[in-house]
Amino acid sequence: MAKYSYQRIRKVCMKVKLVFLVWFASLQCIGAEITAPETRQIVSSLTSETIKNAELIWHLAELGYLESESSGQLANYLETAGFEVTRGVADIPTAFVAKAGSGGPHIAILAEFDALPGLSQDAVPIRSPITVDAPGHACGHHLFGAASAAAAIALSRWMAGSGSKGTVSVFGTPAEEGGSGKVYMARAGLFRDVDIVLHWHPGDNNGASPSSTNANKSGRFEFHGIAAHAASAPHRGRSALDGVEAMNYMVNMMREHVPSNARLHYVITDGGDAPNIVPEFAEVYYYVRHPQVERVNALFERLVDAARGAALGTGTQMEYEVMHGNYPVLRNDALAQIVYDEMVSLGGFSYSPTEQVFAETIFKTFIQPTRRIGSQETIRPFQFRQSMGSTDVGDVSWMVPTAGFTTATWVPGTPGHSWQAVASGGMSIGHKGMMMAAKILAGTAERLYLNSELIDGIRREFEERRGPQFRYKALLGDRQPPLSYRK
């Protein structure tokens, strides 16, 4: 008779249990799908206000930890709508929590609002910076925060009008782009009393499948040398740039000997001042990614060893600083199924003739334009997806059951972090996807408030996936939140 290990039996049982939980959650939602959630109509009534918020934040285009006006716009808007707003949480001036209602369930909606450096772009289908080298919303976080605020306000009004019990919160989360704002908020325990977290993200398609991301850890490696005249006295100097280049050479040789799903990438942020001066300072900025936290930590330590060796070999001194770190998103199929059902129930949208012309024009600027455009009614099938990117939502998902989705705020085929994403996100194509997202957020939360027993099954899956031995330890260690953006 074949012998099966305890671990193998446990894994099989877990898969069977998770399939049952997803099926049970879907079964419980059948009755709720007969009529459209009341919150959809309330969200629709907030369309002009939501577009106004998104446009304002799009024009502000503030970088991570510098989003004072963007954060303030959303916080003030929620406060005017009756939310109790706490600003400056987790020792971050631009982070806030806005809360309405009372009792349980407590559902939180994440809101982002930071831009990216150097991607200023007008809302036109050709490359046209508004201000050269200025920031731009190339990841659509202006839409993200505005839609989340609208969904929360719709829920608070629905609860007040229907007498439904529960608490809805908006977590204003700064600096997702390389700043890990949510990690500091998770580390500070701000999600302790939350039952469910919902989030979304702009994209070029509609999808709500369960998904995960790569864990990520980044660091800046500084090399300190001795300056000297590069022609008349090079022997009296020690090049910090040599230290950076030696480190990069060793790390590039590492690529053959790391897991195939790992990612190592870097930029030299400072390589010296002039060719005729031996650089006394140089810096390189690294990201390490992998689906598993343990592998990320191990790979990062190999980077540190390479940096030490490079310093030793070039006669320089090396210091490094961990900049940020994110956990992979912990999937929750039962919650994702409810979000997916809400998206299918709502359906997508089509482009107007003006939007069609815009889309066809910008589509020609892509390197490989192969996808159909003209309608965003298609919803991607429900199946697990592993993203190679990273997000600080990951840390939140290990604190609270979490699910997210994407809506098509960009022309199909648009890469994130591109000028094309800024352009689409600044006009009606982006606004349509944003309002779709607000309705999905509000509708999903409404179904959970009306069928709160679903949360028990969602929580069981969460505990099973996380494991009984899990203890949260932030990848960025005890680093304090930075108060400014460092490119």
Question: The tokens 């490696």 sit on which residue?
Answer: 221
d(CA 84, CA 155): 15
Query: Computed over its alpha carbons, how large is the radius of gyration of the chain?
Result: 24
Is-contact 223 310, C-beta < 8 A?
yes
Question: The tokens 């400014």 sit on which residue?
Answer: 484
- For 424-441, the pLDDT digits (tens) are 999 999 999 999 999 999
Strand 196-198 vs strand 402-403: parallel, antiparallel, or unpaired?
parallel
Residue 101 in 3-state DSSP? strand
Taking 50 as the pLDDT cut, the residues of the chain under it are 1-7, 9-10, 12, 16-34, 487
Is-contact 179 92, C-beta < 8 A?
no
Structure confidence at residue 24 (pLDDT)? 43
- For 295-339, the pLDDT digits (tens) are 999 999 999 999 999 999 999 999 999 999 999 999 999 999 999
Phi, psi for residue 400 in degrees, rounded to 5 = -140, 145
Helix, strand, coil % (nearest 5) of the chain?
45, 20, 40
d(CA 457, CA 167): 20
Q: C-alpha angle with apex 373: 431 to 39, nearest 5 degrees? A: 35
Residue 25 in 3-state DSSP? helix
Sign of CA dihedral 477, 478, 483, 487: negative
Largest CA distance in the chain: 83
From residue 380, alpha-carbon distances to 101, 147, 206, 277, 393 in Å are: 34, 21, 6, 56, 22
d(CA 289, CA 388): 8
- Structure pTM? 0.88
